[in-house]
Structure 1
């Protein structure tokens, strides 16, 4: 789902406004779903995913629910949630290009659902998994591109890290949900054990934290900002960091030492989802303030 775009005055360029928290949560759910699909599809394509039909169908279904929640809200025409990738299903039949690309990811998803078998080594399953990963990545990257091209030139340069940040965030969040799907079924992630998976997730958390730091540093708020804006931004970033990195990392480090493995992984996944929602909403609010600083006469400025 896209951030709301105000109507520009004559001759002015419209820029996206930060979404409300319900819309931001739906966008982060979709990001987690695409990340889950990317990891599942890549593992199937490489032939390293563990055997079992339900082991593939459960995360596939969870990803479909996450990706489709925003579309369902748009079809129901809920207040503030009436668009999906710039498409208003309740008012306009023809989807946007961004919505068509998002819908295209459902095709390999259904193919994977129909092809997965016991060992998941069938060549068609691996091809469908590769297509699922590619379509999910393409939809995610194009959504970021569509958002960024509506930013003013100066702000556009400051958000250069956004595409990489979204992809890594999708891997990290999707990896937590994929782990939860597998652990909830039989308590195991892979025959090699859960520690390699934990190390991968911790490495993704570290990488994402570095990218996020560079992304915020690139904003460099202009002189004259109200102190209240800075305090709210810092507070939101602190809370988001706790939920995105601290709580999941602590849960990952102690999950092997506790019998409540499923509960800890669920806590890590939900905490990351909430943290990413707060962080992304705060970041887009900062971008909107920069847009208003560059175009003080723009609507909403």
Structure 2
């Protein structure tokens, strides 16, 4: 049985707990991009907004599967940097957690959708399984946020409250960037700015919302006892935070604006998506580092 934490309950982390490395955060961001891909693709297919044709849907499905499965593969190999997957230590006498079971269940609608997207997208079964995939992906994002919040975050509601929203926005933004890569490299994709601006503007708005939510998270962290008692060490993180913010927002947003106007602008799309993965991994690592290294002990 999985017990989801009450959002109004305080969470505690041992101040001596070591921060996780950058590699687990990279796997975390890859999973966010994978679930975001599945979520957006499922919604687009359910609403009949995605390009028809099996290949157009199989590419983002397969790419999302690679991203989501990276953490599972690392846990199966029992790498020291990633010993568990959604709280599940894979091995003998270790049963999967409810969070891991939901993540495993999300593979089923993905495989079903891969077998259904053969012809027209308005087939009723395709739309139903697309909705199921989107809901499973959203459920994985929310439960993983609560799981991380239970295991790692300090006992301050202000620090922990925005995490599920931040994870969903991060997944939609990162998944949207990779879905954009799949779209611009379709052979019949017109690079007319009038056709590409709506998608670019949507991603720019997501970048603004994500920056706002993450800014609130850092502000709440700085305003807590953490920031008041350890102000000097925290200031050393500022330039790394700016670097992460530039990779998350500035580089992808600039690429989105240049793609429709440059002759070979579509090659900027994978560069922007990769920059987001690097920047978001760095930001998550810095946030976890600040929590575990500078957090004050329990009263």
State if a TM-score over 0.5 links the two structures: yes
> 208, 222, 237: which one pairs with 2:241?
237
C-alpha distance in 2, partners of 1:78/1:153?
26
Equivalent residue pairs, number: 283
Partner of 1:3: none
Query: Is the 1:41–1:129 contact (alpha carbons within 8 Å) kept by the matching residues of 2?
Result: yes
C-alpha distance in 2, partners of 1:71/1:232?
34
TM-score using structure 2 length: 0.88
Range moving further from structure 2, 75-84 or 205-214: 75-84
Provide closer, same or farther for how the CA distance between residues 179 and 92 of structure 1 changes in structure 2, counting only shifts above 3 A.
farther
C-alpha distance in 2, partners of 1:148/1:190?
42
- TM-superposed deviation, 1:236: 1.8
Provide closer, same or farther for how the CA distance between residues 136 and 271 of structure 1 changes in structure 2, counting only shifts above 3 A.
same
Query: Is the 1:108–1:131 contact (alpha carbons within 8 Å) kept by the matching residues of 2?
Result: yes
C-alpha distance in 2, partners of 1:52/1:159?
42
Partner of 2:201: 199
Range moving further from structure 2, 110-119 or 133-142: 110-119
C-alpha distance in 2, partners of 1:154/1:189?
51
Query: Is the 1:17–1:284 contact (alpha carbons within 8 Å) kept by the matching residues of 2?
Result: no
Query: Is the 1:144–1:163 contact (alpha carbons within 8 Å) kept by the matching residues of 2?
Result: yes
> 265, 275, 280: which one pairs with 1:276?
280
TM-score using structure 1 length: 0.87
Pairing 1:14-25 to 2, within 5 Å after superposition: 14=14, 17-25=18-26
Provide closer, same or farther for how the CA distance between residues 80 and 275 of structure 1 changes in structure 2, counting only shifts above 3 A.
same
Provide closer, same or farther for how the CA distance between residues 195 and 187 of structure 1 changes in structure 2, counting only shifts above 3 A.
farther
- TM-superposed deviation, 1:185: 2.6
- TM-superposed deviation, 1:107: 0.8
> 278, 295, 298: which one pairs with 2:298?
295
Provide closer, same or farther for how the CA distance between residues 150 and 75 of structure 1 changes in structure 2, counting only shifts above 3 A.
closer
Query: Is the 1:188–1:194 contact (alpha carbons within 8 Å) kept by the matching residues of 2?
Result: no
RMSD: 2.2
- TM-superposed deviation, 1:260: 2.0
Partner of 1:82: 83
Query: Is the 1:149–1:156 contact (alpha carbons within 8 Å) kept by the matching residues of 2?
Result: no
Q: How far does the alpha carbon of each residue in 1:107-165 deviate from its partner, in whole angstroms, 9 at most, with x for none? A: 11011101112331111000000000000010110011112124577324322111101
Partner of 1:144: 145
Pairing 1:31-180 to 2, within 5 Å after superposition: 31-150=32-151, 154-180=155-181
- TM-superposed deviation, 1:205: 0.5
Q: Give ranges in structure 1 of 5+ residues lacking alignment.
A: 1-11, 297-301
C-alpha distance in 1, partners of 2:188/2:14?
50
